[in-house]
Amino acid sequence: MGAIRVKRAFKYRFYPTDAQAAELSRTFGCVRKVYNLALAARTEAWTVRQERINYNATSAMLTAWKKTEELAYLGEVSSVPLQQALRHLQTAFANFFGKQAKYPRFKSRKKSRKSAEYTSSAFRFRDGKLTLAKLDQPLDIVWSRPLPEGAQPSTVTVSQDPAGRWFVSLLVEDPGIKPLPATGTAVGVDAGLDHLLTLSTGEKITNPRHERRDRTRLARAQRELSRKTKGSSNRNKARRKIARIHARIADRRRDTLHKVTTRLVRENQTIVIEDLTVRNLLKNGRLARAISDAAWSEFRSMVEYKAHWYGREVIAVDRWFPSSKLCSACGTLQDAMPLSVRTWTCGNCGITHDRDVNAASNLLAAGLAVSACGAGVRPQRRTPGGQSAMKQETPRREP
């Protein structure tokens, strides 16, 4: 197979001048304001007049808003990010009416992501230098990795995270991604908390528990924040300190997942995972923190898009498939298996199983059956003992 062309976003950190930071911060505020105004207008039109307003109508409203004395400042920033905010709102409503998302929410000044998106008409990219509209000089970008040769960004997104770091993301078309040579190997992957991943080969990948490593430091910073006066500069500094700790945790977690998923995709032709509903699992108050730290959803997202790029196959087995309680040797289903049981012996064939390795082996067998026969794994909502068949991977309470 030849190379495929995919859209890829390359994210870099940059260091703006004081003037650039002020202009971009003002743009972020205008983007948020336009989004909220358009959302309010669309909501009112529907609730009062049962009328649907589309992007063209809100774009006309934006022109009118700029002509008012109260909102004249909207005309002082680049118009492209404001138009892009309206397009994003249109997409949010399309997802809502398509029953793919909840109703769009208003953007909060303190909690919403600070970002602005520029299309090709609002930036100039030449000789490795990026200049945005309304800025008088190029951004000071740290080019940590090269863009594909000859690539020209179609959109540029500038953002600032809660820790105060500035990032620019360039969306380009990468023509150089080539499928990897076929390996003929397949692996079942069981996600857990005691171990981040358990493979059907018997290998267990350690769970780094990034959040736990910084928990004491984070708790101390949060106590310091609670003692600061609201609205003071010291409180803002304390908030930034907490945000930097969270950013450090997220960066390390993402780095670990990238390394693990890249290795799985390179070594295996078929990867079988479990179709977990992480949102529902997070309702378990005892395990929510550990599940969030394991980032199962992010792992699945990474392994799926990398498999698509490199010609691999990812199979998701039904979440109700009792992989932990099914003997991988003889197929006998155990009546009950408390979460405290990490090894067990099959009463039928007498083989002793490691709970996680057995689950990964069962996932692999089920996934290969799906691939060969095109038939899904039959959901088994309840076991004979009345317990949910959905596997939970750890009996321990996270401290």
Which residues are known to be catalytic? Answer: 190, 274, 356
Find the radius of gyration of the CA atoms of the chain.
25
CA distance 189 to 185: 13
CA distance 217 to 239: 13
Instruction: Burial-class residue 7 by CB neighbours within 10 Å (0-12, 13-18, 19+).
Output: exposed
DSSP run (H or E) holding 237: helix 233-267
CA distance 396 to 134: 55
Alpha helices in the chain (DSSP H): 18-49, 55-66, 79-97, 210-213, 215-226, 233-267, 278-281, 288-294, 296-309, 355-373
The residues with which 271 forms a beta bridge, in sequence order, are 187, 314
* Sign for the pseudo-dihedral over CA of 86, 91, 97, 103: negative
For residue 378, give both structure tokens: 């039959």
HSE value, Cβ hemisphere, 13 Å, CA-based, for 111: 4
Neighbours of 389 (CB within 10 A): 19
DSSP run (H or E) holding 274: strand 270-274
